[in-house]
Structure 1
Amino acid sequence: MAQRPPILLIDAPSLYFRAYLGIPESAAKTEDGQPVNAVRGFLDMLAQLIRTRRPDRMVCALDHDWRPAWRVELLPSYKAHRLAPEGGEVVPDTLSPQVPMILDVLEAIGITAVGATGYEADDVLGTLSVTQDAPVEVVSGDRDLFQLVDDVRGVRLLYVGRGVAKLDDCDDAAVRARYGVPADRYADFAALRGDPSDGLPGVPGVGEKTAARLIDRYGGLAGILAALDEPGSGFAPGLRTKLDAARGYLAVAPKVVEVARDVPLPDLATALPAAPAQPERLLELAQRWNLAGSCRRLVDALADRP
């Protein structure tokens, strides 16, 4: 029996932020001068993914809480550098108004978008990756989502670090080749290495190679911490001192990095339509926001699937 097509789980904030940065505002505006570069780029990315991956289902995950309180309670530095003085996330002024536009277009087409109070898009993706029928392809430029890769279940990460046209189709072997650790140990690896983009300090003096070597030798963070208490366990004196000093951080950091897989989500309509659910509304939005080309490419991609 032929394997069914994949469900594409889209990290919407990751893609629309990339679209915003990748297309100049001057190249995509409405008639009254409002930028729509993120909208246009995001829709074109979806069209290309549908043409190349041939999915029969799709869900776009949203950030309803970009900095959940439960993660901040564990690690106050989590994304603190991205916190605006008045509260909320630092987001370009011309990007924020484009997010509702994206959601309106998705609704008119009939592509489901979902978020959850108290959780990030990563957590929604993590939950969908274990609750939706395989095969599953997660599309993101967020390295933390390498931890979702699961060869047994059939979950891959389509990593768009170089763009959708040059995405990296990653299974467990690809994660190992890239970082030297299996996908199910990525959270431990990231905690040790740190990630300035998320406010994770890491262990001073422990970079990617050292983190991977430690995980390979001791099996994971739990094994590393247990070995610290054993005399003659093979740590260089300086490394032992650094790891011992970071025990408090290492006790909470993996919980911050780990993607939730138990987010309460409603029943979702995941099937990709062959034609827009609301064609007249889509036409009106396309004309209002100067998106005719991008909407047509997306509609054509949907119609061209078998």
Structure 2
Amino acid sequence: MSRPLALLDSASLYFRSYFALPDSMTAPDGTPVNAVRGFADTIARILTERKPSRLVACLDADWRPAFRVRALPSYKAHRVADPKNNIEEVPDTLTPQIPIILDLLDAVGLATAEAAGFEADDVIGTLAHREGTDPVEVVSGDRDLFQVVREEPTPVSVVYVGRGWAKAEVIGPRELAARYELPEENAGPAYADMALLRGDPSDGLPGVTGVGEKTAAKLIKRFGSLEGLLAAAEAGDKLVPLRVKTALEDAAKYVAAAPLVVRVAKDAEVVVDRRDAVPAKPRDLDRVRALQEKWDLSTSVDRLLAALPAATA
């Protein structure tokens, strides 16, 4: 099998680095660089341990897209710091680190991608959906992306780092089906439907009252999909418990709107800033070293450079 295309859920990874490492890691001017160093270390480990031939750091062009908010106004509403400008509440000491991360990716020559009006999840969903050559590995600490796993036409799995890299799990359709008792043949879409029914307070998704994760998984496994469940409920199928039928009726407005919110896009107009092949050596070593010195990125940059193919050959 060919080496994989790695799709990085960048915000998930640098947020986790930020909270995992002390903010006492600072540049000479006092700017915290814990997220930068942790993110660089994560990419080094991806290159070393997963050995992708291609890599794209996927970015949020819009963390709370208008089309999702129109469908469900509660979507991420509790995380809005500035409602007028739709700005996300982000720790003050993380915000200035994001441009440094982007500068470092550019200097090394690693590709980034975004799509106007869409989240990184949609960029990942689109790139994974249209990949017809290499297996895909999505690296994320966000379970929402479990929905992209598949076997054909090329396998897509999630390297889930929600409990840290040391406890990373590779989740494909088989693992996902076993973990949640979902149908293996459509485990990814089934996960999205289960998550819709279950809800997710962290994203402002209320879910269907009284339908928890286990019940949601059983319903999706029994009826194959959300659409199958709704059709059975409408037809009066006795395999749909009365309390579930009533709950679905009560939550009808949410259930109708939520698929657009929960399911990642597969047709976003993604713009990739360069070829996604992992560069054998840094695109601009002098600039990498200048960033390393300016921001005191020390051994994190050394490890990233050492993980590039020319260094490991």
State the TM-score, normalized to the length of structure 2.
0.94
Within-5 A mapping of 1:1-306? 3-26=1-24, 28-86=25-83, 87-132=86-131, 133-152=133-152, 153-181=154-182, 182-266=187-271, 268-302=274-308, 303-306=310-313
In structure 2, what residue type is equivalent to 1:23?
Answer: L
Between stretches 86-95 and 32-41, larger displacement belongs to 86-95
User: Hey, what's the Cα distance between the residues in 2 that align with 1:215 and 1:162?
Assistant: 27
Between stretches 115-124 and 82-91, larger displacement belongs to 82-91
User: Hey, what's the Cα distance between the residues in 1 that align with 2:288 and 2:39?
Assistant: 16
* Percent identical residues: 51
User: Hey, what's the Cα distance between the residues in 2 that align with 1:266 and 1:216?
Assistant: 36
Shift of 1:166: 1.8
Shift of 1:304: 4.2
Between stretches 252-261 and 101-110, larger displacement belongs to 252-261
User: Hey, what's the Cα distance between the residues in 2 that align with 1:106 and 1:239?
Assistant: 48
Pair 105,131 (structure 1): closer, same or farther in 2 beyond 3 Å: same
Shift of 1:265: 2.2
Q: Which runs of 5+ in 2 are unaligned?
A: none
Q: Report the aligned-residue RMSD.
A: 1.3
User: Hey, what's the Cα distance between the residues in 2 that align with 1:220 and 1:134?
Assistant: 28
Pair 141,151 (structure 1): closer, same or farther in 2 beyond 3 Å: same
State the TM-score, normalized to the length of structure 1.
0.96
SS of 1:233 mapped into structure 2: coil
Query: After the TM superposition, which parts of structure 1 deviate over 3 Å for at least 4 consecutive aligned residues?
Result: 303-306
Between stretches 126-135 and 253-262, larger displacement belongs to 126-135
Is the Cα–Cα contact under 8 Å of residues 115 and 271 in structure 2 kept in the other structure? no
Q: How many residues align?
A: 303
Q: Which runs of 5+ in 1 are unaligned?
A: none
Is the Cα–Cα contact under 8 Å of residues 114 and 271 in structure 2 kept in the other structure? no
Is the Cα–Cα contact under 8 Å of residues 116 and 269 in structure 2 kept in the other structure? no
Is the Cα–Cα contact under 8 Å of residues 125 and 148 in structure 2 kept in the other structure? yes
